[in-house]
């Protein structure tokens, strides 16, 4: 692939501005959080987490096996009776307390998340952490209002929720899971992703700091086998999973025929549709935010740009110019736009799909961008000349790679946008309000953003259609999935 030189954009250097790492000391060894305390795993096993930006070892983390998961589920079950029968306002107060501590510790948590995940500090500081706190504040307010929310006259919690999350927004996905579950009176056993467990363990400390009753939140660390043990445990009443469609399908098969409730938040291949009347500069910012935010490790990323044929060339030219200004490098530098890819495996997957795009005849373009020598990195990449049959148009790349397709009419835009096995999100860029509504009615996506992209709010339900999963997180709908269906109106 050839790097095309920057197209005349003036460049200037900014002095490096790293955040001090010692704001977030990583514990060299980390136990499991069960029954309110950190404990050693039954068989003493552990695994190593690695810093994506350097490839260096970060910490040793306990590996939970089936007996540990059993212990955690039993601790959650013991805690459930008292937690669910507390006055709801009291549950709300614990959630408020957790939210406040998250705010107080947000600099430390933002740094830790950047080190562990590879994402830029500008994003963890300005997006992830404020949203994490907002989720706890929002659900704190709901705890004592469930009976008046149209969720049935006497909504009851489900019991013990087993929650499994991915690595792309570790603490944010934890908040999406834990805050509504606790507000509704459930107790939880959460398993973070194996490459990003550190902020979940910091959250366990926050639970201690907030004096949350023992066993209400339990955190077991490990990889797929630990997740499987949680899914298969007979003492779990609900599984909430966010991750790949492949694993989501395996989980659906595992809980089929049991009484367990299930919500699945899976992958996506969103269309970001730009009409010829859209304000180009704003659309370009939205396209960049849609696919290059968080290195493209975003389930709802706008990874397919559908641009009206008449404005294809100017939009792509401005996009290329804008990409030339993005800074890739040290995640702890607040000037960084694009950080490290989370793992060697993920980089391999991105590289493999980019090679497939080239082999199938799409045309790649990258800005002039030097990649650091250590760690895992991928330059922002645009494919033009993409056909709907190409793998880069069909498969979730989960990296900083945009596939550009064209359309001529709104009908064609809808047909192409919906031509995917996924249905998580979509974007529409046009100055006509009526067209936005026309498109939103027809797009088979859980979220449709208009003249913006990647906006999140705890009051707004988020979730998918088709192979993007089922169930919603956030809003009243998100609460409903942690309450007894018989009681939900």
Catalytic choice (123, 265, 395, 467): 265
List 58, 99, 160, 164, residue binding ligand NAD (CB under 6 A): 164
Binding flags for ligand NAD, 165-184, as an x/- string (CB under 6 A):
xxxx----------------
Residue 395 lies near ligand NAD (rule: CB under 6 A)? no
Six-digit token pair at 425?
Answer: 């999100």
Residue 223 lies near ligand NAD (rule: CB under 6 A)? yes
Cα separation, 286 vs 315, whole angstroms: 12
Residue 118 lies near ligand NAD (rule: CB under 6 A)? no
Binding flags for ligand NAD, 256-295, as an x/- string (CB under 6 A):
---------xxxx---------------------------
Residue 467 lies near ligand NAD (rule: CB under 6 A)? no
Six-digit token pair at 129?
Answer: 């952490």
Cβ distance to ligand NAD smaller for residue 141 or 224: 224
Please, are residues 201 and 221 in contact by the beta-carbon 8 Å criterion?
Answer: yes
Site size toward ligand NAD, by CB under 6 A: 30
Q: Rounded to 10 degrees, what is the CA torsion of 74, 78, 84, 88?
A: -110
Binding flags for ligand NAD, 402-431, as an x/- string (CB under 6 A):
----------------------x-------
- Beta-strand (E) ranges in 217-352? 217-219, 238-242, 261-265, 271-274, 304-308
CA distance between the termini of the chain: 56
Residue 41 lies near ligand NAD (rule: CB under 6 A)? no
How many CB atoms neighbour CB 85 within 10 A? 9
Which stretch in 24-32, 220-228, 329-337, 351-359 sits in contact with ligand NAD by CB under 6 A? 220-228
Task: Give the nearest distance from C-beta 333 to ligand NAD in angstroms.
Answer: 25
List 398, 449, 453, 482, residue binding ligand NAD (CB under 6 A): 398
Which residue sits closest to ligand NAD, CB atoms considered?
227
Q: What angle do CA 236, 239, 240 make, to 5 degrees?
A: 145
Residue 471 lies near ligand NAD (rule: CB under 6 A)? no
Residue 299 lies near ligand NAD (rule: CB under 6 A)? yes
Q: Is 265 a residue of the active site? A: yes
Task: Give the nearest distance from C-beta 403 to ligand NAD in angstroms.
Answer: 16
Residues 6+ positions from 289 with CB-CB distance below 8 Å: 453, 454
How many CB atoms neighbour CB 249 within 10 A? 13
Cα separation, 366 vs 364, whole angstroms: 7
Q: What are phi and psi of 327, to 5 degrees?
A: -105, 125
Residues 6+ positions from 415 with CB-CB distance below 8 Å: none
Residues catalogued as catalytic: 265, 299
Contact residues: ligand NAD, CB under 6 A: 164-168, 191, 193-194, 223-224, 227-228, 231, 242-244, 247, 250-251, 265-268, 299, 396, 398, 424, 464, 468-469
């Amino acid at each position: 692939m050839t790097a095309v030189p920057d197209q005349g954009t003036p460049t200037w250097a900014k002095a490096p501005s790293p955040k001090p790492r010692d704001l977030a000391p990583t514990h060299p060894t980390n136990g499991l959080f069960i029954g309110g305390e950190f404990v050693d795993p039954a068989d003493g096993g552990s695994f190593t987490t690695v810093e994506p930006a350097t490839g260096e070892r970060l910490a040793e983390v306990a590996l939970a096996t089936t007996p540990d998961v059993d212990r955690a589920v039993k601790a959650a079950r013991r805690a459930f009776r008292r937690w669910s029968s507390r006055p709801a306002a009291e549950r709300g107060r614990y959630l408020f307390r957790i939210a406040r501590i998250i705010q107080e510790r947000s600099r430390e948590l933002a740094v830790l998340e950047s080190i562990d995940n590879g994402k830029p500090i500008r994003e963890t500081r300005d997006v992830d952490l404020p949203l994490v706190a907002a989720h706890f504040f929002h659900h704190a307010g709901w705890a004592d209002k469930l009976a008046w929310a149209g969720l049935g006259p006497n909504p009851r919690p489900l019991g013990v929720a087993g929650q499994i999350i991915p690595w792309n927004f570790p603490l944010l996905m934890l908040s999406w899971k834990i805050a509504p579950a606790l507000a509704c009176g459930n107790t939880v056993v959460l398993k973070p992703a194996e490459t990003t467990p550190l902020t979940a363990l910091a959250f366990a400390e926050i639970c201690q700091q907030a004096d949350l009753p023992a066993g209400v939140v339990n955190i077991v660390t490990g990889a797929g086998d630990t997740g499987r043990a949680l899914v298969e445990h007979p003492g779990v009443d609900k599984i909430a999973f966010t991750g790949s469609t492949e694993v989501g399908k395996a989980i659906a098969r595992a809980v089929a025929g049991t009484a367990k409730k299930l919500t699945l938040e899976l992958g996506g291949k969103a269309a970001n549709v730009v009409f010829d009347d859209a304000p180009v500069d704003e659309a370009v910012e939205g396209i960049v935010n849609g696919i290059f935010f968080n290195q493209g490790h975003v389930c709802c990323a706008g990874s397919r740009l559908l641009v009206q044929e008449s404005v294809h060339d100017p939009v792509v030219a401005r996009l290329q110019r804008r990409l030339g200004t993005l800074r890739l490098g040290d995640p702890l530098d607040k000037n960084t736009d694009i950080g490290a890819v989370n793992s060697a495996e993920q980089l391999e997957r991105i590289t493999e799909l980019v090679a497939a795009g080239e082999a199938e005849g799409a045309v790649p373009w990258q800005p002039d961008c030097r990649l650091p020598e250590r760690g895992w990195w991928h330059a922002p990449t645009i494919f033009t000349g993409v056909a709907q049959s190409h793998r880069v148009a069909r498969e979730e790349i989960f990296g900083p790679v945009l596939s550009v397709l064209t359309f001529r009419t709104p009908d064609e835009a809808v047909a192409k946008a919906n031509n995917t096995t996924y249905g998580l999100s979509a974007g529409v860029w046009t100055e006509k309000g009526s067209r936005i509504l026309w498109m939103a009615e027809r797009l088979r996506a859980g979220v449709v953003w208009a003249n913006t992209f990647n906006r999140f709010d705890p009051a707004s339900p988020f979730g998918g259609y088709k192979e993007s999963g089922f169930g919603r997180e956030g809003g009243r709908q998100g609460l409903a999935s942690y309450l007894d269906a018989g009681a939900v109106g």
